[in-house]
Structure formats: structure tokens, C-alpha cells
Chains A and B, each alone.
Chain A
Amino acid sequence: MTTESSNAIIDCDVHVYPKNPNEIRSYLAQPWKERFNGEGRGLFTNPVHGSRRDAIPPGGGPAGSDSEFLRKQLIDQYEIAHAILLPRAFCNLHPDPDFATAIAAAYNDWLADTWLGKYNEDGVFKGSITIAHQDPTAAAREIERWGDHPHFVQVMTDSGARAPFGQRQYYPIYEACERYGLPFAMHPGTDGMGINIQPSPGYPTHYIEWHTCLSLGFQAHLVSFISEGVFERFPNLKIVLTEGGVSWLPALMWRLDQEYKGLRYEVPWLKKKPSEYLRDHVRITSQPLERPDNDKHLLQTLEMMDAEHILMFSSDYPHWDFDSPKMAFPKLSESLRKRIFYENAKEFYKL
């Protein structure tokens, strides 16, 4: 698109849903067709509400299932130039990798036909390829199936996993991502559910604890990616930390850099300080942006984390913790605002 105004925004985390489970089921072959029931993730449902109460389409159906209403409430209202869509298949919790792979494929077929197809004449919607990381070889095949599609711009999985994402069993996924130039995005979803480990010492009691601690899994995955040398093995691989929190990043990188000074011996494949891999390989999305009482503290954190180059705006529409493009951030310099709200994502996703 070339006609965007200077206020144009790229929203890097928007959730779309099928109108009902049959939309997904129609893309499944037996025996999965009759087993699929559209179930969610099971545990830790939000005790207040899961989606914005005003995001329920007037014509019925779940929040995020009506493209006309989503366009009105998000795209048009906030001048969104592109919305990166992340469906929530929750396939990563299933013990049966074949079932999980089939669900991922059905979501991709559905997204391609609908939000990236018939709802997308102007190309405002860009999609994520859902994969089941239980079976990395099958996941790589699924990436190949969509790798040349004009509107799929990243590969996506839940942050819930059985092992940190830097480990070698996942490499078929990263090899496919690199081959097609698709970033690998992780999004919270099935941490501690089904076959996936809960990244805290045991299960917390409350949703507030679980939701706050989602950042822990992201931190472990990022440290793993860097320490295992994934970015040396796959020099063109890029990853996105979507909805995993923001302000923890500087402190974690200080810690990892400090450890590296004494422990480089253990990971000799690293060619530079751990934090120096971020700008070339890692992007982080903004929502849910932490807001300390003093705006200066957040602005300092943005500077410390190199937000100018690695932070990308996201709203998480239509979920309950939606960040308004107009209200989520304190006043930013115009150049930093443009980087975060538009330019970083435009360059990163080649939009």
C-alpha cells in the first residue's frame, strides 16, 4: 500500500475466530473431523471476561468472527494499514501429534479462504501459519504448503511447549522458516496445558498469576534461542515475541550478557554478546504494555531495550486486555512513535 497517511498503524496481534466449529471442521478429514469439537484450552479462563464485551458482533457469533464488524471497530477506527492475524487453534496442547497437525492445517485452510481470501480484497489482513510443534517435521511440511502465499507473513505457535524453543528438535521448523523468509512468532496460549510444561514452579492458583507469569516462558524461550546458537545456525531466522510482555527485556539481557562474560566457554558458538543478536533476529510486540505510574520510567525502558528498532505495536483485539492505539502508550517522540506503530513492522514483515 502506498497511500497510507503518516498516522498509519500496523497492528501485529489481532485475533480472528471461526463463526462456529463447523467452519474448521469442514477442512478436516476423518477421523479428525468427528473428533474436533472446537474446544479451547481448558484451564485458566479469565474470571472476568475473555474478550472485549463490545466486540461481540451485532449479528451474532464470537468476538473476532465478523470481518465487517472487525473492520469497523478496529481497522477503520484506528487507521490500521495492516493487521497481522493470529488464530487461536490451541493445537499445541494435544498429545496426538497427528491430530494437532490436522487442526493446524485446517485453521490454515480456513484462514486462507476467509480472512486472507474472500474478506481481504484490499490486502489489509496478513496471516500467521499455525503449526503444531509436537511434530516439527510435519510442521515444516505445513510451512512449505503456505510458504509462497502472498498474505501469510509469519509462522506461529503457542509459547506453551515441552522444551525451550532453542533446542535442536525444533530445527526443521526454523529451517523451513528461513527457507521461505518467514519469521517464527510465539504467542501465549497453552502454557501448562495438555502436554505442555507450566513455566513456573508448579501451577499457580489464579488467572492473575498465570497471566502475569506468561512472560516467564517467553524469557526462557528467548534465552534458549540465543544460547543454543540458533541464530548462528540459521543466520536469516527471525523470531517474534508476541504478547509476552515488554519491560522485562532489558533486565534479562543485562543478566544474560553478564553471565556470558564468564560462561562464554560453555557456548563458544556465540560470536557476540547475547543482547547483540536482538536487533537482527528478534522483534517484540507491545501489548499488554506495562504502564508504571511514572511515564518516564517506561520511556527509559523503551530506550534501554532499543524499542526504536525492535518493538512493534499490537492491540490484541478483540481480547479483554486490548491496547488502544491512542491510549496504550505515553507521549512518544514522533520518530519513535512511527518506528513502533508502523515502520518496524513494515520493514520486518516486508509489507
Chain B
Amino acid sequence: MGRHVIGKVSELPPGSNKILALKNRSIGVFNVNGEFYALRNTCPHQGAPLCKGDVRGTTLPSKPGEYIYGQEGEIVRCPWHGWEFNIKDGRSIFDPNKCLVKTYEVEIEQEPSAVETFPVKIEFNNIVVYV
């Protein structure tokens, strides 16, 4: 598994994402409310660039005629056919067990060159994706 430093925490604020080519794969890295996640940028349906879709919430399971909006910022919606995926685990909303997109491990690592005597602010830490 390759270790890829893709930037600083400060470069990817909550609600944002970036798409990178890592090991010949297109991968989207997302900051969801301060937590980082990475997904394959290929929709399992017809191969659309999934991570270019809108990041949003969704209508949660409810009774007929009732709307409960939630998971704000946790859902990416495919830019072609609108299929929704949970950014945190890559699972589709409509069939989480059978339709999912590959996820990759993301870690935040302290900048190794940081001078030890100063407190290191998290926003200067590196975002590392393992592919």
C-alpha cells in the first residue's frame, strides 16, 4: 500500500474536497465536518466521475408523506444519474450492501519537520491517503 501526502489540513476545509490521481486511480478526498475520507472517483454504475458530484444531505428513511432531511455534508450524489453514496463508507443509499464504491484509508500526520518545542496546529498537519 502506497503512502501519499496530498496536502495540508488547512488546504481542505470542512465541506470541501479535491480529486487526485494516485497510482493511476482518480480518487476524491473529502473533509466531512473535520473528518477525512477518500473514495474512488468512479461510480460503480456507469463509470461517471462520482466525486465531482454535489456534496449534500439527503432525505432519511421516514414514513410515507414525511420528510426528514439529514446527514448534511455526508452524501455525494453522482453527477450523472444522481445515485447517492455515503462519503464515510462508500455505500450507496439505495442498496448499501450491493452497491458501493471503494474507499481508501486517510490519516492526518503531524508535519515531521515541525519544531518540537512549539505546539503543532492541526491545520498544518499532512493529509495522507493510503492506496
A48 to B82, CA, bound (A): 6
Nearest B residue (CB) for A54: B79
User: Given the complex, which residues of B lie within 8 Å of A53, measured CB to CB?
Assistant: 52-54, 79-80
Size band of the A side of the interface?
10 to 19
Within 8 A of B (CB), among A21-63: 48-49, 52-54
Tell yes or no: B47 within 8 A of A by CB: yes
Tell yes or no: B40 within 8 A of A by CB: no
A104 to B45, CA, bound (A): 36
Tell yes or no: B13 within 8 A of A by CB: no
Tell yes or no: B131 within 8 A of A by CB: no
| A328 in contact with B80 given A53-B53, A53-B54 (CB within 8 Å) | no
A52 to B52, CA, bound (A): 11
Instruction: Identify the interface centre among B46, B47, B54: most chain A CB within 10 Å of its CB.
Output: B46
Q: Which residue of A54, A323, A328 is within 8 Å of B52 (Cβ)? A: A54
User: Given the complex, which residues of B lie within 8 Å of A52, measured CB to CB?
Assistant: 48, 79-80
Decide if A327 touches B45 in the complex (CB within 8 Å). yes
Tell yes or no: A324 within 8 A of B by CB: yes
Chain A nearest CB from B130 CB (Å) reads 27
| A327 in contact with B46 given A320-B82, A321-B81 (CB within 8 Å) | yes
User: Given the complex, which residues of B lie within 8 Å of A323, measured CB to CB?
Assistant: 46
Nearest A residue (CB) for B47: A327
Chain A nearest CB from B121 CB (Å) reads 35
User: Given the complex, which residues of A lie within 8 Å of B46, measured CB to CB?
Assistant: 322-324, 326-328
User: Given the complex, which residues of A lie within 8 Å of B80, measured CB to CB?
Assistant: 52-54, 320-322
User: Given the complex, which residues of A lie within 8 Å of B79, measured CB to CB?
Assistant: 49, 52-54
A340 to B12, CA, bound (A): 46
Tell yes or no: B77 within 8 A of A by CB: yes
User: Given the complex, which residues of A lie within 8 Å of B77, measured CB to CB?
Assistant: 48
Chain B nearest CB from A288 CB (Å) reads 9
Within 8 A of B (CB), among A316-340: 320-324, 326-328
Decide if A320 touches B49 in the complex (CB within 8 Å). no
Within 8 A of A (CB), among B57-100: 77, 79-82
User: Given the complex, which residues of B lie within 8 Å of A54, measured CB to CB?
Assistant: 48-49, 52, 79-80
Within 8 A of B (CB), among A248-296: none
Nearest A residue (CB) for B54: A53
Chain B nearest CB from A303 CB (Å) reads 23
Chain B nearest CB from A328 CB (Å) reads 7
User: Given the complex, which residues of A lie within 8 Å of B49, measured CB to CB?
Assistant: 54
Nearest B residue (CB) for A326: B47
Within 8 A of B (CB), among A44-88: 48-49, 52-54
A53 to B80, CA, bound (A): 6
Nearest B residue (CB) for A49: B82
Chain B nearest CB from A298 CB (Å) reads 15
A48 to B81, CA, bound (A): 9
Decide if B47 touches A320 in the complex (CB within 8 Å). no
Chain B nearest CB from A324 CB (Å) reads 4
A29 to B79, CA, bound (A): 39
Nearest B residue (CB) for A321: B81
Within 8 A of A (CB), among B20-61: 45-49, 52-54
A324 to B53, CA, bound (A): 17
Nearest A residue (CB) for B98: A293
User: Given the complex, which residues of B lie within 8 Å of A321, measured CB to CB?
Assistant: 80-81
Interface residues, chain A, with chain B CB atoms under 8 Å away:
48-49, 52-54, 320-324, 326-328
> Which 4 pairs, one residue from A and one from B, show the smallest C-beta to C-beta distance?
A53-B79, A48-B82, A327-B46, A324-B46
A-B contact pairs, 20 of them (CB 8 A): A48-B77, A49-B54, A49-B79, A52-B80, A53-B52, A53-B53, A53-B54, A53-B79, A53-B80, A320-B81, A320-B82, A321-B80, A322-B46, A322-B80, A323-B46, A324-B46, A326-B46, A326-B47, A327-B45, A327-B46
12 new A-B contacts, CB < 8 A, other than A53-B53, A320-B82, A321-B80, are A49-B82, A52-B48, A52-B79, A54-B48, A54-B49, A54-B79, A54-B80, A320-B81, A321-B81, A322-B46, A324-B47, A327-B46
Interface residues, chain B, with chain A CB atoms under 8 Å away:
45-49, 52-54, 77, 79-82
